[in-house]
Structure 1
Amino acid sequence: MFNPSHSNFAGLGGAIWNPATIADNRYSVQLELLAVDGHATNTAYRYTGPWSLKSPSEDFELESRYLQQRTGDRPNLVSVGVNARGPGLLLRLNSKHSIAVSTRVRAALQGNNVSQELIRNAVDEFENGGRFTDNKLNLNMNAFAEWNLTYGRVVFDEGPHFLKTGITVKRLMGAGSAYLQAKSMDLEVAAPNAASDTTVRIRNLDGAFGYSNPRAFDDLDTEEGGRWLRGQNTPGSGWGADIGFVYEYRPDGDRYRYRDAKGAEKVDHGRNKYRYRLAVAITDIGGIRYRDQTVAYNEIKTANLGVSNDEVNGIDLDNFDERIERILRAQDLSKDTKFVAGLATALNVDFDYHVGGKIYANAAVSQSLRGRYAIGMRQLSYAAFTPRLETRWLEIAAPVSLVNNYQMLAYGLMLRLGPLTVGSNNLQALFEKSNLYGANAYAELSLFTWANKRYKTPKKAKTPTQKVKTTQKTS
């Protein structure tokens, strides 16, 4: 959820939310050097341990003593990921047309629709005995790189009405993907100190499991991301797209038009012109097809599987593929050698109102369009209200959001000083670590040149008062 302020100076960052924003942009040229957004969040447990963004040197341990479970039986979600962009170039070709070329690397571990009892047993390492029915989950890991080409165009500009549209085409290089699904699972956990070696017995399971290049998640760094962008170590490939529209109501639109020295009519691209703005976009349409190093079991229907303590303990990113195949007795299952991991398709809508002067207010909703058991990355739906102070060189925004599929309240702060933007959409990670469901931070550095110099509407010339001579008639 990178910078929900939806500033007029978002540039390439705004194109991710809606590609139409690059048309009639406040920048003539923008070179995005690097932008990084990292997050970790969930709806099941509060973290009460010593670590926080304020105390990053403390050990971060997800032990049960540091986890306070949220009450209720609503299915849970979890998401941990990083999103890196750059380099990227935005260029305004003329008053109507703009283009942009950019790169991006994304990686995330996500859980959706995870039953409360199932996640509690996993955190407790299956130490509490009992029968647990109707368990569900959908776990996904995805890492990929993309090259993006964006085109934005002004399609209507007459009177107070202004409309622009944009499209982004994405070439995707899939570095790795994995998924584990249980549409229905009946578990029996052995009582503590039970004589049997069986820790968990899976009475019934209807699910799916697949992976391609699971080692892609071992060492995530800038060097590895560069290799993905060059198409190295990427067993998957695919295409994606974003499409969007932006409408602006400009009651004083004529004030921003002028004629240059040659008499041609021009529009001042350096200033915001609207009373209000409405933007709608669908982003991340498409997916990545994995064919190499790929294993998929998409019709898992099994019963009465005993799982030992040795099979459960110590599962991590280095061995989860082997462990889960052993737990599911994969040799008895039908195997496929390809699958498609979808992008985080979402509907983005925002309404921006010019309150007056340099003050704006933005209301935004991002609604995930991915199914409950979809394979691939997903956008966690959210709604945000963001007041902001916006100038060319300084911008301050304070988003208040309902995050994690509208379940959690979060507040943040964003600061832009010319080419540098820093912020967080979840300041609880800085000040309220005892009530911490997640953390988020982002930063961006870019170089740019402004759109054409601001044109000040000339004052109307005063009409000189003419002296009228009167002749007085005499009788």
Structure 2
Amino acid sequence: MRILNFMVFLFLINMASAQNYYGYLSDNYSGLHGVTLNPANLTGSKLRTEVNLASVNASVNNDYFYTDFGSLFEGSDIGDDQFNAAENNNFAISADIMGPSFMFNLSPKHSIGVITRARAFFNINEIKGELFDAFEDDFDSANDFSLNEDEFTSTLHGWAEIGVAYARTLINNEQHYLKGGVTLKYLRGLGNAYAKGTNLSVDYDADGFTPEVGTITTTGLIEYGSSQGISQNEDDSDFEFESDASGYGADIGFIYEWRPAPSDLDDESRSNYKLKLGVSITDIGSIDYEGAEANTYDITNSIDENTFESEEDFEDKLNNLYTRIATEDFTKVKLPTALHITADYNLDSQFFINLRSDLSLRKANELNTNKIDNAVVVTPRFERKWFSFYLP
């Protein structure tokens, strides 16, 4: 399946460079990466100038599979007890590549920057774990089972963006410092696909037509839409992204610093605050896909598992095995808009404690929209100009 292959592609990115920006984005020397969390970080930065050539961040989050550090390091086999097939399981895969970018201070109060990024998100929201098991295994089971699914949604979206960031100091007196910033983005869609299942029922008879071939009986509706912007070369070796989709987006943020006695703080760390509070909203906006199509299928049917497995592509399964009952155009794909609130407490100019809260402003069941995972992260931090250590 094209979509499944693309998911694997994202997963391999994560395995190749598995790192997370938690902790680092709140560092006073995070530079351009800190601007992606809050544009106000651009001005008053401890880096007067920065040039980024390339950096990669990726993550895979879920509440379906879990393990511990000991098992990872020991190379232990994965057991059935490490899978949590719940009533509503959720998956979120993301990849973020920052390309050539730069920032510099125009003056002590004004700073600008240009940031280029390529990003991809994949979400599965509120799917029954048993249904995910069945689809993942292509209904290759020796046991009968029946299950019902009220509703689940899934969205895959990739896009590139170029942003122009500006920030300035708004208030600067002896104890109080306030700055604000905004990043305006031009967005280029790389490809989009989404699916929504409603009132699904799946009944699997392992004996089926013959003892060796099971029968899959289904009812319900599946809505599936694709921009047709994600494809593979004939040799299946490379991905091609073809789309005329575009749009506009923005990030906006403010940061307040309390500086009760700046002269008493170690100047080496250049962190002349005792408490720093930040609030920002990122990924405001959407991308329009011209000519994208969404189809609704009635999946009421009873078929043998060999026939189901013979259709390798998810879209082929829908078109060849079930009944299309409606077709409509869709154009707009919303970005994963999120609210970020941070608090950074300076213990002694080298040691900090950071509290960061990330809250999705997109609902889990919002159609054809990606979302971040809600999170609250506490991070002790040791910070110097050329070296920092974080423990999120």
TM-score normalised by L of structure 2 = 0.82
The answer for the alignment partner of 2:378 in structure 1 is 385
Q: Deviations over 1:133-154 (max 9, x none)?
A: 2343212211111111111111
**2:216 aligned with 1:200:** yes
Residue 302 of structure 2 is aligned to residue 295 of structure 1:
no
> Is the counterpart of residue 10 in structure 1 residue 3 in structure 2?
no
Match for 1:21: what amino acid? N
1:47–1:66 CA contact under 8 A, matched in 2: no
1:116 positional shift = 2.1
- Corresponding position of 2:201: 186
Q: Displacement, 1:353?
A: 0.2
Corresponding position of 1:423: none
**How far did residue 194 of structure 1 move?**
3.8
Tell me by how many angstroms 1:217 deviates: 6.9
Q: Is the 8 A contact 1:296 1:336 kept in 2?
A: yes
Given that 2:85 and 2:128 are in contact with CA atoms closer than 8 Å, whether structure 1 keeps it comes out as: no
Shift of 1:37: 1.0
Cα distance in 2 for partners of 1:174, 1:100 equals: 22
Q: What is the Cα deviation at residue 123 of structure 1?
A: 3.6
- Structure 1 CA distance for aligned equivalents of residues 174 and 298 of structure 2: 66
1:93 to 76, 84, 106: 106
Name the CA shift for 1:237/1:155 in 2 (closer, same or farther; >3 Å): same
Q: Hey, what does 1:39 align to over in structure 2?
A: 59
Change beyond 3 A, Cα 1:168–1:67: farther
Alpha-carbon distance between aligned partners in 1 of 2:144 and 2:133, rounded to the nearest angstrom: 12
Note the alpha carbon deviations across 1:389-409, whole angstroms, 9 max, x for none. Answer: 10111111111xxxxxxxxxx
Larger radius of gyration: 1
Match of 1:167 in 2: 182
Q: Distance in 2 between matches of 1:69 and 1:123?
A: 16
Residue of structure 2 in register with 1:376 after alignment:
369
Deviations 1:359-394 (A, max 9, x none): 111011111111122213221221111111101111
2: distance between equivalents of 1:161 and 1:175? 44
1:114 aligns with 2:110: no
Of residues 355-364 and 365-374 in structure 1, the stretch that sits farther from structure 2 once superposed is 365-374
Q: Which of 136, 139, 153 is matched with 1:138 structurally?
A: 153
Aligned to 1:321: 315
Gaps of 5+ in 2: 1-18
Shift of 1:237: 1.1
Equivalent residue for 1:334, pick from 318, 322, 326:
326
Contact 1:245–1:279 (CA<8 Å) still a contact in 2?
A: yes
Deviates more, 1:137-146 or 1:124-133: 124-133
The aligned amino acid for 1:114 is I
What is the CA–CA distance in structure 1 between the aligned matches of 2:187 and 2:284, rounded to whole Å?
A: 12
Shift of 1:253: 4.2
- The DSSP-based 3-state class of the residue aligned with 2:364 is coil
> 1:20 offset after TM fit, Å?
0.8
The equivalent of 1:309 in structure 2 is 305
The offset of 1:25, in angstroms, is: 0.7
Q: Which moved more, 1:93-102 or 1:247-256?
A: 247-256
1:124-135 maps to which residues of 2 (within 5 A)? 124-126=137-139, 127=141, 128-135=143-150
Query: Structure 1 residues 248, 137: closer, same or farther in 2, change over 3 A?
Result: same
* Offset of residue 44 of structure 1: 1.1
Q: Which gives a bigger RCO, structure 1 or 2 (Cα 8 Å, sep 6+)?
A: 1
Instruction: Please state whether the residue corresponding to 2:302 is helix, strand or coil.
Output: strand
The whole-number CA distance in structure 2 between the counterparts of 1:393 and 1:362 is 19
Q: Distance in 2 between matches of 1:246 and 1:175?
A: 33
Q: How does 1:187-336 map onto structure 2 within 5 Å?
A: 187-195=202-210, 199-205=215-221, 207-213=222-228, 215-216=230-231, 233-253=242-262, 271-292=270-291, 294-297=292-295, 300=296, 302=298, 304-313=300-309, 319-330=313-324, 333-336=325-328
Q: Deviations over 1:104-161 (max 9, x none)?
A: 0012332111112211322443223233123432122111111111111111112311
Q: Distance in 2 between the 1:380 and 1:170 partners? A: 23
Q: Which amino acid aligns with 1:179?
A: Y
Any idea what SS the aligned residue of 1:286 has? strand
Q: Name the SS for the 2:134 alignment partner.
A: helix
Take 1:146 and 1:54, find their aligned partners in 2: how far apart are those partners? 40
Is this contact kept in 2: 1:25–1:269, CA < 8 A? no
Q: Deviations over 1:321-376 (max 9, x none)?
A: 3333334423xx22123332211111111110001131111011111111122213
For residues 314 and 112 of structure 1, what CA distance do their matches in structure 2 show?
Answer: 27
Paired with 1:212 and 1:218, the residues of 2 have a C-alpha distance of 17
CA contact (8 A) 1:177 1:376 kept: no
| CA distance in structure 2 between the partners assigned to 1:238 and 1:322 by the alignment | 30
CA–CA distance in structure 2, aligned partners of residues 73 and 327 of structure 1: 28
Counterpart CA distance in 1 for 2:269 and 2:381 is: 19
Q: How large is the RMSD of aligned CA atoms in angstroms?
A: 3.1
Residue 353 (1) aligns with residue 345 (2): yes
Paired position in structure 2 for 1:395: 388
Q: Give 2:315's aligned amino acid.
A: D
Other-structure match for 1:365: 357
TM-score scaled by length of structure 1: 0.69
Alignment deviations for residues 271-324 of structure 1 (CA, whole Å, 9 cap, x no partner): 2211001111111111111114x2212xx37362334424532666xx333333
**Corresponding pairs, count:** 362
